[in-house]
A and B are shown apart, each in its own frame.
Chain A
Amino acid sequence: MKKKAIGQAGWLWTGLASIVAFIYFFPVLFIILTAFRSRSDTLATPPKWFFTPTFENFYHIFFRAMANSTEYVATGFHVYFFNSIYISGMSVLLALLIGTLAAYGFSRHPLRGNDTYLFIILTTRMLPPIIVIVPIFLIFRITGLAGTYTGIILMYTAFNLPFSIWMMKSFFDELNTEIEDASRMDGASERSVFFGVCIPQVKAGLAATSVFALILTWNEFLFSLLLTNKLTRTMPPAMARTIGGEINVDYGLLAAMICLFIIPIFLITYLLQNQLLRGVTFGTIKK
């Protein structure tokens, strides 16, 4: 075998990597293709790889004929789409805000028994959500939070906080505290040390934390299923309703919904890609 220059993998490895990548991407590709198939093409066995694409499924997400009728009626599906964006956006924003402040506190002004508190924060995430859902459901019923935007946003914020705190703390821990001391010497107040010196240095961390939190929230199913109502429901339980209940499952319709569902998260991850890479690899400051 010819010796490769360092820094080049060569065609063989690139080819292998592309095969693995294709296997990973295949389910997504299959769903995307299904979304553009007509109803009869969807059900064909073996699957039809060549077909005339149609936007029928996408249209049916929003307008559908009710049983025994030829008239198309608005399904109101856009509400779920909006709910998903609004609820995830708000809760990630809140978790990031509170999490960053808390992480800074844990990192720079440790409590007595700091690690114990950090551990306790994480314990809520050690259990599968199904275990905590019953008490939470009761709390929501008693407080009247069930079915409200506030309720589900608070739920997701709490759900994202442990992760945000831990992640942001590790970013703050990485920083060279001398720079903060230097800005104190230069006359900065504690507030400007935080906003002017620390926050700009952990931008990559903020990006990484928000993307990971967003993905978790965006795809969350169980809490949304049980704690929202018809008006505040997010996409995952809404999509699930499409599978069940009807006489048979309209896979084309479901695939079209999934296609719409992945667009926002896809865009955000793509836009923050560079920050994300820097975020998860750390080492932004040479010590």
Chain B
Amino acid sequence: MSTIELQNLTKAFDKLIAVNNVSLKVEENEVLCLLGPSGCGKTTTLRMVAGLEVATSGDILIGNNNVNNLDTRDRNLAMAFQFYALYPSLSVAENLANPLHAENLSDEQIKKKIFEVADILQLKDIINRKPHQLAEGEKQRVAVGRAIIRDPQCFLFDEPLSRLDVQLREQMRGQIKEVLSDLKKATVIVTHDQLEALTMATKIAVMRDGLIEQISSPHDIFAKPNNTFVAGFIGTPQMNILDCKIIEINSSIMKINILGQEVKIDFKTPLDVNTNDSYFIGIRPRSFEIVDNNESDNFSGTIDLIENMGSEILVHIKINESTFRAVLSRSHRLNIGNTINLKPKEGQVHLFNKDGKVIRDE
């Protein structure tokens, strides 16, 4: 069975704890993205799964077998590396064939497999070239090809698209997703690019400082962040996270003091909060709509800066010396210095306590 399970996995380099008590499970046919800023321990976690790094404590189970004491080559995994790691002196075909040498296949079988993979990844024209004669995108495809040519238990990808330009990245994202969905194996992808994670993963684990902050589906990670870090890390432009104070609670509707303005927000369900306590409120820049009059359910501020984003504009709004940002349609003719009224969209407002943990009625 193709599954990967980590139980209380920890890795310490001298005093630095790179991975701290990580537990997660990747089921068959599931693609898990380890997402986080650089240095958060995501690559170390992946390398421990691969057996390239020895865990300080904790267990790694692949297909329900504990592989803690198995060498890399005995774990039956395939991995694509960030810098592609192609053998510089071997041609594309030989690079692809290399993982097969350990499998005792006949030359005919090896050839057949190479052609299959070359067909899937469109490598036929470059099959005899050496790595230094390849473009970045081609190298990347060879690296993926080398990972999928064998029939391993699980797949690991370390920042597979980080070295490609934007266009190529978009194209390869689709291609890898397609290949992975055909393979039906447990897959772990490490990335710092949230778009990559949101598009390719069936499950995302957001990491920070060696800890897993949240594991959820891509939609839930975006729509229901567990804490201010995940809320701020996922989504561009970044979520506005503002100080607030609750003035009045009337079942699910609360009157909240945000940046000195009192705004009525309907949270749909009653939340476990107290009046006069301070909290953080999180509203994504895309969760605002412009309204004509300043009512009790909206903000009023002056436009400080307008950034062009193509079909939309990113507006920086100043209220009492603090700014927050909203993405609005270009059709509103806005100018710097104008006063606008913004209403947060219903159900898209998040409340966090002062420790950063979300307050939500599950």
Contact = CB atoms under 8 A, between A and B. Distances in A.
A181 B81 contact: yes
A232 B171 CA distance: 70
Interface in A171-218: 176, 178-179, 181-189, 197, 200-201
A176 B85 contact: yes
Contacts of B78: 185
A203 to B, nearest CB: 10
Interface string B33-76: 00000000000000100111000000000000000000111000
B79 A176 contact: no
Contact of B73 (A189, A200, A285): A189
A283 to B, nearest CB: 12
Contacts of B89: 200-201
A185 B50 contact: yes
Contact of B52 (A176, A179, A181, A201): A181
A48 B101 CA distance: 68
B73 A187 contact: yes
Contacts of B310: none
Most buried by B among A186, A188, A285: A186
A187 B82 contact: no
Given A181-B52, A182-B81, A287-B83, A187 B101 contact: yes
Contacts of B51: 184
Given A200-B89, A201-B88, A285-B88, A185 B72 contact: yes
B48 to A, nearest CB: 12
Nearest to B81: A178
Contacts of A189: 73
Interface residues of B, number: 26
Given A178-B82, A181-B50, A181-B81, A187 B87 contact: no
Interface in B208-231: none
Interface residues of A, number: 19
Contact of B83 (A178, A186, A187, A201): A178
Contacts of A197: 87
B87 A185 contact: no
Contact of A179 (B71, B73, B87, B101): B87
B99 interface: yes
A216 to B, nearest CB: 30
B88 A182 contact: no
- Interface hub of A179, A183, A185, A189 (most chain B Cβ within 10 A): A185
Contact of B102 (A182, A187, A286): A187
A186 B102 contact: yes
Nearest to A287: B83
Given A181-B52, A200-B89, A186 B99 contact: yes
Given A187-B73, A188-B73, A189-B73, A182 B85 contact: yes
B73 A178 contact: no
A285 B87 CA distance: 10
Interface string B76-105: 011101111111110000000011011100
B157 to A, nearest CB: 12
B83 to A, nearest CB: 5
- What 10 A-B pairs have minimum CB-CB distances, sorted nearest first? A187-B102, A182-B85, A178-B85, A186-B99, A184-B72, A187-B73, A178-B81, A179-B85, A185-B79, A181-B52
Interface of B: 47, 50-52, 71-73, 77-79, 81-89, 98-99, 101-103, 132, 146
Interface of A: 176, 178-179, 181-189, 197, 200-201, 284-287
Given A179-B86, A184-B52, A187-B101, 18 more contacts: A178-B85, A179-B87, A179-B88, A181-B52, A181-B85, A182-B86, A183-B98, A185-B52, A185-B73, A185-B77, A185-B78, A185-B99, A186-B101, A187-B102, A188-B73, A188-B102, A189-B73, A197-B87
19 contacts: A178-B81, A178-B82, A178-B83, A181-B47, A181-B50, A181-B85, A182-B79, A182-B81, A182-B85, A182-B86, A184-B52, A185-B72, A185-B77, A186-B99, A186-B101, A187-B99, A187-B101, A188-B73, A201-B89
